[in-house]
Amino acid sequence: MASVQMATILNSLTMTRPLPPNSSDSARSPSLPPRNLSTKDFAVPRRKAMALIFSTPIFSAIAFPDTVFAQPSVGLREYIDSFDGYSFKYPLNWIQVRGAGADIFFRDPYVLDENISVELSSPSSSNYKSVEDLGPPEEAGKKVLKQYLTEFMSTRIGVRRESSVLATSSRVADDGRMYYQVEVNIKSYANNNELAVMPGDRVARLEWDRRYLSVLGVENNQLYELRLQTPENVFVEEEYDLRQVMDSFRVNKISA
């Protein structure tokens, strides 16, 4: 059944648009040869066609039940928060999710584990002068990883997390401010039968494998953090776009 539906999708992507019955071509004399129609305007690019196939429930649910597929690059849109003092770019097709706990939160509508958010420290309880107040980038990376692990702490029996700091760096952006960039990887494992008595009956399996990218900046005596979350297999395909998002993050002085 799935193969028949997939064949139907492929055929629909490559067929040309039929002429209307009342078009000028239908009124031509039978002795005249038919016009040579080009399919250029109606052809679907291969990359978009494959993305459409991979994103259909038929294909993803039957052929690859545990695999997440990246979507083609769609360009970036800028988000500016002049009230809190920051801006960044995010993919055009991502949607805003309200009530997620962050100051702002967007996610990919297809890859639900892929999202971007911004966190900022309370202005009444922080007095940051520079991102260097966190120490060198390596020290900041350890703090970022510790924060992630605290947030993902689970009370389920048999859950185990593996984590590592992949990269840390600092840069001075075109606004003259210094920013830290931190990349970490976290894997989550869970037992398939956590209540089993015998250890051999408790087999750990990989639940998820994610890349977390953070950009840290300081302004208005506050610490700002841009957070990107994406599955590792999606990161490999979307790395260029995601790094553009990271590089776009700016903190700005709030007008009194």
Nearest Cα to 93, choosing from 71, 113, 68, 118? 71
Rounded CA separation 219/217 (Å) = 7
Determine, yes or no, domain membership for 230: yes
pLDDT (tens digit, 9 = 90+) per residue, 132-161?
A: 999 999 999 999 999 999 999 888 877 889
Give the pLDDT confidence of 58-93 residue by residue, as tens digits. 344 344 444 455 555 679 999 999 999 999 999 999
Question: How many residues appear in the chain?
Answer: 256
For residue 120, is it within any domain?
yes
Inform me whether the pLDDT recorded for 53 exceeds 80: no
In a domain, 54, yes or no: no
Assess whether pLDDT exceeds 50 at residue 48. no
Q: Is residue 38 part of a domain?
A: no
Domain count, the chain: 1
At 138, which amino acid appears?
E
What DSSP line would sit under 193-212, residue for residue? TTT-SSGGG--EEEEEEEEE
CATH code for the domain in which residue 180 is found = 3.40.1000.10
Which domain, by its residues, includes 104?
73-251
Write down the pTM of the prediction: 0.70
